[in-house]
Amino acid sequence: MDTIHTLTQLLTQSDCNYQIYDLSRRVQLIDNATFERVENASQPYPFPIQRQAQFAVAYWNESNQPWIWFLKFNLDERGLLNQADVGQFLKFVIEAMGTRLNQAMTDEQQKKLSNNPFTFKPKEDKMALFHSVIRFEMNLPTSQYYQHAREYFLGNLGWDQWKTVGLQGITDICARLSVDDNNRMIRSSLNKVAREPLYALLGALEHISLNEKLAFSLRELALLECKSDDPDLFFLSAITRALSGAPANELESVVSEILASPRLSHQEVLIGIAGRAWAPLANPTIAEKFLLRLAQTGNQALFNQIFADLVMLPSLRLVLLPLLHSNPSQELASALMALQQATTNTVKH
C-alpha cells in the first residue's frame, strides 16, 4: 500500500466522493483539482484568513449521507500549507479510522479523532449556512425551519412576526435562491422585513453567488444608505458584505461609492470589505483608496492587521506589495512606513 501524504490521497483511496469548502472567509467551494495543488504545495491556499486555511471536507459513499470534518491549518509566509501539520492530522485519522473512510465512525473513533489541534467548530451562522449549502447540492431535504421562514419572507405571517423564524430556515432559503421562486421572494421582501431578520438574511447572502436582479436590488439598498443624511454604517457594512457574491460591477460600484466618502469609510465598513467583499481591491486604484481610508481611521494596529491579512490573498498579493515601494499620499505613506517598522520589530524579536 502506498504511503498516504495528503487528504486527497486518503479520500481517493477510500473511493469516496468529496468536496472541499473554504470557511476562512466566505463559504465557497474549492474544486478538487485546486485543493490537490494546494496540498502538493504547488499553489497557495486561495482564501486564507489570519495566515490560516479553514475549510470543511465533506465526503460520502453510495449512502449519499456526507461525513464532515472542519479543519484549520497554519500557512507559511507564501500562503502554503504546512505539510508536517497535514501529515500529523492524517496520522490521527489513520490511527482512529484506518486507511479507508467508508463507514460511519463509532463514538470511540469520533472521540479519538476529535482530540487533535487541527479540527475546529465554525461560528453558528457559518455552520448553518454550510449545512444548507451542502444539503441543497446533495439533493437532501431542507431543515424543518425552511417553510416557516418562507412564509415570513412571503409576508404571510406579518412583518413583525419574525421571532419564530429560525436562522437555519433563512440559510436554507439563501442556499436555494434558484428554486421555489426564492430569488424573487427575497427581492420583494427587502424593504419590508424587520431589521433583525434582514441582518440574518444579509449575513447568509455573504456566502452565496447572486444573480443580476438580486445584486441590483441590494446595490440600490446600499446606495440609498450611502446618500442618507444619517447613514447606518453597520447596516451599510452588512449590505456590502452581502454583495460579496454579486457580479463584479455591482460590488465594485458600492465599494467605490463608500471609499469616495470619508464619512462612509468607517472602520466597521472597511473591515467588512476586507473580510468578505475584497474582490474590487484587485483594482490597484481601488486598493490604494481603500488603504488610504484605512490609514485615515488613525488605527495603526488595524491597518497593520488588515494589510497583513489581505496581502496573503493570492489575488491581491501583487497589487498590495508594490504599494510598499510606491509614492502614495503622505497619510498612506506614513501608515505603510509604520507597518514596515512594526514588521521589522516583530522579526527582530
Number of domains forming the structure of the chain:
3
Query: Is the Cβ–Cβ distance between 222 and 273 less than 8 Å?
Result: no
* pTM greater than the 0.85 cutoff: yes
Tens of pLDDT along 202-214? 999 999 999 999 9
Q: Are residues 148 and 38 in the same domain?
A: no
Stretch 142-160: mean pLDDT, rounded?
Answer: 97
Domain limits at 56?
7-114
Q: Are residues 333 and 283 in the same domain?
A: yes
**Summary mean pLDDT of the chain:** 92
Q: Are residues 229 and 340 in the same domain?
A: yes
All residues at 6 or more sequence positions from 123 whose CB lies less than 8 Å from its CB, including other chains:
none
Q: Are residues 301 and 229 in the same domain?
A: yes
Q: Are residues 229 and 349 in the same domain?
A: yes
pLDDT value of position 95: 83
Tens of pLDDT along 278-312? 999 999 999 999 999 999 999 999 999 999 999 99
Strand partners, 19: 58
Q: How far is CA 324 from CA 77, 114, 287, 298, 337, in A?
A: 17, 42, 12, 18, 8
Residue 313 to residue 316: CA distance in whole angstroms: 5
Tens of pLDDT along 165-207? 999 999 999 999 999 999 999 999 999 999 999 999 999 999 9
Q: Are residues 100 and 145 in the same domain?
A: no
Residue where a domain stops, chosen among 208, 236, 263: 208
Tens of pLDDT along 66-99? 889 999 999 999 999 998 999 999 998 888 877 6
Query: Is the Cβ–Cβ distance between 237 and 255 less than 8 Å?
Result: no
Q: Are residues 266 and 306 in the same domain?
A: yes
Q: Are residues 289 and 315 in the same domain?
A: yes
Residue 301 to residue 348: CA distance in whole angstroms: 18
- pLDDT exceeds cutoff 60 at 337: yes
Q: 1 burial class (0-12, 13-18, 19+ CB within 10 angstroms)?
A: exposed
